[in-house]
Homo-oligomer: A and B are copies of this chain.
């Protein structure tokens, strides 16, 4: 038997799932941007829209926190989770926008690989989030957290290889700095996914 929540409480689950859905869409658009690299300006614009949607969801969660008497988890945990999800989408948008800021002609193979790891990380978050609804099985979230950690390690390895290539045969120092920053932004997006996993892990530990 599953726990049943009051309608007011269910709302938080809906909002968090909307947040992971939104992050997943942004990550998919980032991967497509890196893979095709056509209509770049329009593709970046669509990802910026995801970022605005993320802001909207975050503010809505905070408002609801503020006006709802009974919440399914501690208010601080809901606050942390919403902030952490917001940071994921912000980072995806920053990585996409960096192609414009730094006038990237063509993404490198490593940039594409990192976008792929980001997409897989958001897919795992998207699978983990609905398990919050189901208290008796909440522990299954932990397996997803392990996978997020594994993907973050994978991104670290790709990032390392990208730096080795970048510095092995540097032509233009300004270009090296550009790519150094783009790789940093891409890699740190998987760190932000890991932050979400950390909040989820702490919530599971508290409630099990």
Q: Point out residues on A near B: beta carbons under 8 Å.
A: 59, 62, 65-66, 75-76, 79, 83, 97, 101-103, 139, 142, 146, 160, 163-164, 167-168, 170, 172-174, 176-178, 180-181, 198, 201-202, 204-206, 208
Contact = CB atoms under 8 A, between A and B. Distances in A.
A-B pairs with lowest CB-CB distance, top 3:
A173-B173, A75-B205, A170-B174
Contacts of A208: 66
A84 to B, nearest CB: 11
A205 to B, nearest CB: 4
Contacts of A181: 180
A135 B66 CA distance: 15
* A59, A139, A167 — most chain B CB neighbours (10 Å): A167
Contacts of A75: 202, 205-206
Copies of this chain, complex-wide, total 3
A91 to B, nearest CB: 12
A177 B180 contact: yes
Most-contacted residue by chain B among A83, A101, A164 (CB, 10 A): A101
B206 A102 contact: no
A79 B201 contact: yes
B167 A178 contact: yes
B167 A79 contact: no
B177 A173 contact: yes
Given A205-B66, A205-B79, A174 B178 contact: no
Given A66-B205, A79-B198, 6 more contacts: A59-B146, A101-B167, A102-B163, A102-B167, A103-B167, A173-B174
B62 A163 contact: no
